[in-house]
Amino acid sequence: MQRSHGWRIATLSGIPVHLGGSWVIVAVLMVALFGPTVQGVLPELGAWSYAVAFGFVLLLLVSVLVHEAAHALVAQRVGFGVFRIVADFWGGHTAHDGAGGTPGRSAAVAVVGPLSNGVLALLGWGLLGTLDGGVPLLLAYAFAWANTFVALFNLVPALPLDGGYLLEAAVWKVTGSRHRGTLVAGWSGRVLVVLAAAYLLLPALIGDQQLSLTRVAVIAVLAVFLWQGASQAVRLGRQGLLASRRSAAEVALRPGTVAADAPLDTVRWDEHPVWILLDHQGRPDGLVDPPALQQVPTRAWPTTPASAVGVRLPAGWAVPMGPEARLDEVIEVMRSTGSGVVALLDATGTPWGVVTTREAVRTRPVGS
């Protein structure tokens, strides 16, 4: 079954836009945190303060979607395949393949996100002079500050922030190695977490200030998000440097192909280590799941289609890539699509190999 990315709420230039289920958690937390602030500024609202807080949450969602839409549209413009836009607990992300990427294209995709928030911030600040007060003024003020913060914060040169991708592109341009850029930007992200935590927490720990639970919680959530993203970048950079020395053909499994409607008893499953399901147009649609195959009683095989034991995979998991392709190119497809499996297609669109994360991370021959 294909992984769910939440509720599909729109389509932008052919790109599906999803609202992740975790966004509900963000909405509840933001309403709980911002509601008392609204009530303090406009006490006459009473319980309606929380409705105003929810309005601010919706404005934040618009900001996130504009940010990700900017990434997606520029990625399309420079020739990348874009698979989806998702707004979720961590803000949002845009999944694209990055095939044929260059430092310039990568930098262009990265920088437009913060720039879009900068434009929204300017609009918010501009509105302040036209509003007399009350709820509209409060929302415009909060909207302007939020987008200003997001724009500046995302430009910090540390992965997983957009500024980290700009740093990655700069190192890539200078050294000729994207993986070295990823490694440098990942370590920059780790350093950022340590410095930010020290700056925000040490004055309170060594002085007379009292730490609020809200402040600690916000710092902890941001630190976990940044540290995980930075650490993943460090791992990917190291793996990429090793993988760039090997070809996809060295690790690819030789797959069998089976039509989705083919009965299970018509296939000799032991002939290949992995089997690719083909849709009615003959295109790769997923893989046969070996545990699911074993759970079907043999007597039911003649009436059970291969699709019943298949696992669909994210868009972009099957890519045209010859045996001479470098393994790091396959890893890039995994990173951009979120798929742990990549099918490699020849010039006719026929699958000739499959690489999973197990083969991808085993970047040195066994016994070396």
Architecture per CATH, domain 248-361, reads as: Roll (3.10)
pLDDT tens sequence across 100-140: 789 999 999 999 999 999 999 999 999 998 888 889 999 99
Q: What is the pLDDT of residue 366?
A: 32
The whole model's pTM is what? 0.72
Average pLDDT over residues 6-28: 89
In terms of Cβ atoms closer than 10 Å to its own Cβ (0-12, 13-18, 19+), residue 364 is exposed
The domains of the chain are located at: 1-155, 176-244, 248-361
In this prediction, residue 30 has a pLDDT band, given cuts at 50, 70 and 90, of confident
Nearest residue to 54 (alpha-carbon basis) of 22, 28, 36: 28
Lowest-pLDDT choice from 46-60, 251-265, 282-296, 352-366 = 352-366
Which H helix or E strand runs over 8?
strand 7-12
The whole-angstrom separation of Cα 339 and Cα 290 is 18
pLDDT tens sequence across 178-194: 899 999 999 999 999 99
The whole-angstrom separation of Cα 312 and Cα 299 is 25
